């Protein structure tokens, strides 16, 4: 099964090429005359989330921290006599922690040359307090949203159970009641960088959009938070505020193609088994509907038969008897009246009436009159009403259900059910089966008129999350149908919400930078990277593992990626303050580490 074919085409020689890139001849960089311009880098603090902390490969670990962009920028500032005391709240050497596991490692390649990614063991010592070594100038807190930086008590262990604290801040907060912004302001910074806001929308995207339960921060709350952060840092004479990149361009959302569920010719048996499982799964939902439809038809026929063969004859016979009685009485009364008018006695008149009724002429007269009455609309309506009354009787309904049950068990009806079921499944599964070669993922969604099975094929407009590969691999290996829950997919409407939020946030961030602070267009820069970007002779793009800029979690950056981001800060700072901060030498840092 080729879940990764769309991600990685050929790996032969990749490790050698990547290793050579680490030791290739570095271009000489002519550094201009260094000057701070109008900026004051004496005390530099960096605020943000995981991107600021140096988080990479799915975890916060020491090597990532010491190669974070604030550390790189601080080294540039130190060449101008600034940021002398800059420090980061380092975690112990080792795997680090991303919450459940340590950092992800590329441990090798399988027999088909595809990469094997292995999460390392989580290191809980990451969360041991290092507050005594503070205050720290790198105030990047993984998982923080914009408004979290203003929370008093965001570093209070007692608030962890309520979600009002963050374990990554608890470990280095100056006090239980501190906020990130307060800890920054207390150091009287002369310069700050702020890169915050990704998590205000990222959680929604990485959890599958509307299905994930993680909500996008509303613009008013985001704007209030950003303005509050900037106001809290107003004592700094300068700073740089970065906007939010196009997060949906990251490998986490682009690495897995919509039709990356692939099978080799030798996996024909697995294809057959998966399709059988998919058909059985669909059948379980469709069969009751088909049976209900067939039963309704069978019951309708049973009811029609009961009416025509039992109920109607009985009701008509009863109605005719009643009409005959009434007509006979009417005819007799008419004859009596006629005889009395002719001078007969009452006894003679009654005898004459009885004789007429008993005669052939009398019976013919009565029959004619009864037939006419039975054909009247009034009597017909009465008959139909009585049929419905008889049909509604519990005894009649019980008989109908019993006969329907018997009919449903017949070979003829069961054959009809199977034929209809097969026909409906063929139609419903026309685009929902797998075959040798490339297949769109099959997404489990809500049942609707458009998707009666609650399934739909993925389209080129869907974004499949990176985590879908492992999930589907496990499902397929277990012989279960290849159904992808919505939490692994961003459909176009969900993508539009993400893009709209990023655009709104960036408007807020640019306004917050205003005339006082440098505005760093990370969105524009990473759009260049996504399309292919060359720096110091090295190519970068959005490919997973091979692109060079993104780490193994598909969202956070490699050391080189962070160096590129640091240079974007420096470019904006130099332009704003007429300073000459030296560029970060990107090639001095690592990309993906190959085994």
Q: Is 79 exposed, middle or buried (0-12, 13-18, 19+ CB in 10 A)?
A: middle
Token pair for residue 297? 């038809």
pLDDT of residue 425: 92
Which of 433 and 40 is assigned the larger pLDDT? 40
Averaged pLDDT for residues 355-372? 95
Please report the beta strands in 32-166, taking only residues with DSSP state E, as ranges in sequence order.
44-48, 104-109, 115-119, 138-140
91, 107 Cβ separation under 8 angstroms: no
CA distance 130 to 160: 18
The strand pair at 138-140 and 44-48 is best described as: parallel
Report helix, strand or coil for 116: strand
**Where is 128: in which H helix or E strand?**
none
The length of the chain, given as a count of residues: 595
CA distance 451 to 444: 10
436, 267 Cβ separation under 8 angstroms: yes
Averaged pLDDT for residues 124-141? 97
Q: What is the pLDDT of residues 185-238, one digit of tens each?
A: 999 999 999 999 999 999 999 999 987 778 999 999 999 999 999 999 999 999
Q: Which long-range contacts (CB under 8 A, 24 or more apart) does 150-154 make?
A: 150/179, 150/180, 150/181, 150/225, 150/228, 150/229, 150/232, 151/179, 151/180, 152/177, 152/178, 152/179, 152/182, 153/177, 153/178, 153/179, 154/178, 154/179, 154/180
Q: Phi and psi for 37 in degrees, rounded to 5? A: 60, -135
Lowest model confidence (mean pLDDT) among 156-170, 255-269, 305-319: 255-269
CB atoms within 10 A of CB 222: 23
**3-class secondary structure per residue, 16-59:** HHHHHHHHCCCCCCCCCCCCCCCCCCCCEEEEECHHHHCCECCE
CA distance 29 to 23: 17
pLDDT of residue 481: 64
pLDDT of residue 264: 86
509, 229 Cβ separation under 8 angstroms: no
Q: What is the pLDDT of residues 77-122, one digit of tens each?
A: 999 999 999 999 999 999 999 989 999 999 988 776 778 889 999 9
pLDDT of residue 180: 98
CA distance 357 to 365: 9
- Residue 24's pLDDT band (cuts 50, 70, 90): very low
Averaged pLDDT for residues 524-539? 95
- Residue 477's pLDDT band (cuts 50, 70, 90): low
């Amino acid at each position: 099964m080729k879940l990764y074919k769309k991600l990685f085409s050929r790996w032969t020689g990749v490790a050698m090429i990547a290793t050579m890139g680490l030791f290739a001849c570095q271009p000489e960089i002519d550094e201009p005359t260094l000057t701070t311009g109008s900026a004051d880098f004496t005390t530099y603090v960096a605020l943000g989330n995981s991107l600021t902390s140096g988080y990479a490969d799915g975890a916060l670990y020491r090597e990532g921290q010491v190669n974070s962009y604030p550390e790189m920028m601080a080294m540039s500032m130190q060449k101008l006599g600034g940021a002398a005391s800059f420090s980061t709240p380092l975690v112990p050497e080792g795997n680090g922690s991303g919450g459940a596991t340590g950092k992800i490692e590329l441990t090798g390649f399988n027999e088909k040359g595809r990469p094997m990614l292995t999460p390392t063991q989580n290191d809980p010592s990451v969360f041991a307090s290092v507050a005594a070594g503070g205050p720290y100038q790198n105030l990047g807190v993984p998982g923080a949203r914009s408004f979290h930086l203003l929370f008093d008590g965001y570093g209070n262990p007692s608030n962890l159970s309520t979600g009002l604290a963050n374990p990554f801040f608890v470990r280095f907060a100056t006090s239980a009641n501190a906020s990130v912004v307060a800890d920054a302001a207390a150091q009287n910074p002369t310069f700050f960088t702020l890169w915050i806001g990704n998590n205000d929308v990222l959680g929604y995207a990485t959890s599958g959009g509307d299905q994930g339960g993680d909500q996008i921060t509303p613009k008013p709350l985001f704007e209030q938070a950003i303005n509050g952060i900037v106001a809290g840092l107003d004592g700094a004479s300068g700073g740089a505020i970065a906007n939010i990149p196009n997060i949906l361009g990251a490998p986490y959302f682009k690495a897995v193609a919509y039709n990356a569920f692939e099978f080799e010719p030798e996996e024909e048996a697995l294809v057959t088994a998966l399709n059988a499982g998919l058909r059985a799964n669909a059948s379980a939902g469709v069969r009751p509907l088909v049976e209900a439809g067939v039963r309704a038809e069978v019951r309708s026929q049973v009811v029609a038969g009961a009416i025509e063969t039992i109920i109607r004859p009985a009701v008509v016979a009863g109605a005719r008897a009643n009409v005959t009685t009434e007509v006979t009485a009417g005819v007799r009364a008419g004859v009596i009246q006629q005889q009395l008018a002719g001078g007969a006695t009452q006894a003679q008149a009654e005898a004459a009436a009885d004789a007429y009724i008993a005669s052939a002429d009398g019976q013919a007269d009565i029959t004619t009159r009864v037939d006419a009455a039975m054909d009247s609309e009034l009597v017909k309506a009465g008959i139909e009403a009585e049929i419905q009354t008889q049909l509604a009787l519990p005894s009649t309904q019980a008989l109908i259900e019993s006969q329907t049950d018997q009919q449903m068990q017949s070979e003829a009806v069961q054959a009809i059910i199977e034929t209809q079921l097969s026909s409906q499944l063929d139609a419903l599964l026309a685009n929902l089966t797998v075959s040798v070669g490339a297949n769109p993922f099959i997404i489990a969604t809500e049942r609707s008129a458009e998707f009666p099975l609650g399934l739909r094929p993925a389209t080129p407009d869907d974004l499949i999350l990176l985590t879908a590969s492992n999930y589907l691999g496990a499902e397929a290996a277990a012989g279960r149908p290849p159904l992808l829950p919505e939490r692994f997919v961003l459909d176009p409407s969900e993508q539009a919400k993400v893009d709209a939020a990023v655009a709104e946030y960036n408007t807020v961030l640019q306004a917050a930078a205003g005339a006082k602070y440098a505005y760093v267009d990370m969105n524009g820069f990473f759009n260049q990277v996504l399309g292919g970007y060359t720096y110091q002779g090295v190519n970068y793009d959005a490919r997973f593992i091979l692109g060079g800029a993104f780490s193994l979690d598909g969202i956070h950056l490699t050391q080189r990626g962070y160096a590129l981001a640091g240079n974007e800060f420096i470019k904006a700072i130099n332009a704003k303050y007429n300073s000459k901060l030296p560029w970060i030498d990107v090639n001095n840092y690592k990309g993906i580490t190959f085994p």
